[in-house]
Chains A and B, each alone.
Chain A
Amino acid sequence: MKRAARSVFPHPFLTVLLIVSWCLLNNSFTLGTVVFGIILGFLIPQGTAAYWPGAPRGIKAGKFISYLLLVLWDILVANVQVAWIVLTRSNAGMRTHWVTVPLEIRTPEAITILAGTITLTPGTVTADMSDEGHCLLVHALDAASPEEVRDEIKNRYERRLKEIFE
């Protein structure tokens, strides 16, 4: 039964996402849009499944939603902090650092989300990844020390993503 469901909907999260975005695009929530959304949510994952093998399974949705809320809150707080730094500090007074973050998570999807989170929270930008994917290169606008930024990323985001994906 579970296998049959997997072959019909290879990426259940993508299916749900497509139905929701279709309803949002139409700006209406009627039977017609939902049914067409389900058709799209069936066809698009089927067509792209071959290019996305080995998608992570058993993602904890509840923890993922609380992670999203945490990131939104952090974006809000960090925005104000960075705006203050930009307005009040001189260029020479900023303690800019390159930070290397060794990764514990190995799932590509989780690493992508971590890198995106780092870029979206103002003050840090993900610049690059090491050639075999074991660490990230992060640029910090103003930080007391690279170690501090690294520990915050590891404790705040990576630990939660590890719980969600692995």
Chain B
Amino acid sequence: MTGTVIPEILIAICLLMGALFMLVGSFGLLKLDSPMKRMHAPTKASTLGVGALLLASMLHSFAFDDGSLHEILIMAFLFVTAPISANFIAKVAIHRGRDMPTPEPPKDQTWSTLDVPAETGSPDAPEAPVRG
């Protein structure tokens, strides 16, 4: 009886923490007012929120079952894919231009998202040079 109390408390703490950060993440999504600011809320939910929930799942499996490490893989895939989707959303936000105007890059010509050839849309526009 007493052997299962400590893991249960730990699992409950992890679940609560995960749920709390998911809640703050979705609250931020509602509250923040510009597209770029809103991007910050989901990155928070997907890192610590999901991380704590997966930790709870791992603790549960090790305490009451054979133990499972699948969850590390979920975390790894999430960490690899989240920045890429965030990057794409940011590119759309820059193109729409409803956010703060972007500053000039200190070294190069322009940001790669804004680097469009002059004749966009025309069918015989030259293709972008392939970087070797």
Contacts and interface: CB of A to CB of B under 8 A. Distances in A.
Contacts of B69: 24, 27
B90 A127 contact: yes
Contacts of B72: 24
- Looking at chain A's contact residues, the main secondary structure is mixed
B98 interface: no
B90 A128 contact: yes
Interface in B100-132: 100, 102-103, 105-113, 115
Nearest to B33: A91
Interface range on chain B (Cβ under 8 Å from partner): 35 or more
A62 to B, nearest CB: 20
Interface SS of chain B: helix
B59 interface: no
Interface in A87-105: 87, 91, 94, 96, 98, 100, 102
Interface in A59-99: 75-76, 79, 82-83, 86-87, 91, 94, 96, 98
Interface of A: 21, 24-25, 27, 75-76, 79, 82-83, 86-87, 91, 94, 96, 98, 100, 102, 115-116, 119-120, 122-123, 125-135, 137, 139, 141
Interface of B: 21, 24, 27-28, 31-34, 36-37, 39-41, 43-44, 47-48, 68-70, 72-73, 76, 79-80, 82-83, 86-87, 90-91, 93-94, 100, 102-103, 105-113, 115
